[in-house]
């Protein structure tokens, strides 16, 4: 079955069972590749719906200070796209059971080669890509490279997106639609916008595929509220904060944090 369809079905399976569908994000190589792998295996116990694995890029326009610092730490290891796919392939060769999605910027895949990126992704077992600086109007070459290749291509919609535009984004997206909860950059927030629930209700009506919401989600109360309105919840900066604080001790701390978001005991 197509990887994008498998991802979509997995999210809907969580929804049907009324389980919290979390999508954790971490930056690959932060603080090092060994710790990245340890975190990935540890958080399997929290049963995420999939995992967003960031490939570091020097100009992360969608990311706030927390993830920017993670990227700076990761870049000290001189990551390459080839090494990223080798890492994903190694995980999958060990039987890693959760879909992995690469979050990176268009310059990375463009310079690597669009068709080459798709080929390497398929060979590694990657499930798809989130490319936040690639709008649907400029995505033709990428979609052509991925045509009939079945990788998920997840586009972002924002509070400033019109209903008509959200429909177009949803039609181009596969796997799920990523809805940005607020205008601005990533970063954990104490409080989310008051109208977010009502906006999600409307986005769900416009999208034929599952809707995940991200940016700012950092507390159990955020998860409790939004799980009723979105199909999945992306948690990024709050996890990266733990990595910055705990370093190599982060895997256990992140598992505990994710369980707390789902109101589960450690």
Mean pLDDT of 191-201: 82
d(CA 201, CA 211): 10
**Any catalytic annotation for residue 30?**
no
Closest CA to 246 of 18, 16, 26: 26
Q: pTM to 2 decimals?
A: 0.93
pLDDT at 187 over 70: no
pLDDT tens digits, one per residue of 251-261 = 999 999 999 99
pLDDT band at 217 (very low <50, low <70, confident <90, very high): confident
Highest CATH level, class, for 3-153+231-259: alpha beta
Check residue 156 and give its pLDDT.
Answer: 96
**Any catalytic annotation for residue 133?**
no
8, 16, 42, 52: the active-site residue:
52
Q: What's CA 131's distance to the chain center, in Å? A: 10
In the chain, what are the domain boundaries? 3-153+231-259
- Order of strands across the sheet that contains 128-130: 152-154, 128-130, 100-103, 51-54, 22-27, 232-235, 211-214, 177-180, 156-157
8, 30, 63, 231: the active-site residue:
63
């Amino acid at each position: 079955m197509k990887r994008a369809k498998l991802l979509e079905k997995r999210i809907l399976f969580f929804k049907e069972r009324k389980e919290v569908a979390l999508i954790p994000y971490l930056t690959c190589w932060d603080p090092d590749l060994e710790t990245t792998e340890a975190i990935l295996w540890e958080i399997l116990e929290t049963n995420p719906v999939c995992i967003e694995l960031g490939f570091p890029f020097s100009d992360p326009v969608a990311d706030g200070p927390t993830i920017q610092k993670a990227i700076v730490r990761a870049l000290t290891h001189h990551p390459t796209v080839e090494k990223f796919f080798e890492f994903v392939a190694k995980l999958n060769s060990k039987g890693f059971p959760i879909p992995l999605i690469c979050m990176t910027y268009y310059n990375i895949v463009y310079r690597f080669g669009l068709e080459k990126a798709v080929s390497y992704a398929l060979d590694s077992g990657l499930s798809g890509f989130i490319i936040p600086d690639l709008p649907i109007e400029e995505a033709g070459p990428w979609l052509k490279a991925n045509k009939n290749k079945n990788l998920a291509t997840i586009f972002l919609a924002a509070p400033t997106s019109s209903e008509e535009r959200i429909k177009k984004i949803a039609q181009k997206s596969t796997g799920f639609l990523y809805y940005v909860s607020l205008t601005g950059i990533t970063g954990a927030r104490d409080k989310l916008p008051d109208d977010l629930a009502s906006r999600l209700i409307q986005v769900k009506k416009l999208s034929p595929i599952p809707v995940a919401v991200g940016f700012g989600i950092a507390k159990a109360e955020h998860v409790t509220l939004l799980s009723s309105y979105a199909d999945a919840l992306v948690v990024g900066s709050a996890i990266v904060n733990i990595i910055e604080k705990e370093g190599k001790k982060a895997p256990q701390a992140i598992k505990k944090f994710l369980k707390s978001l789902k109101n589960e005991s450690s």
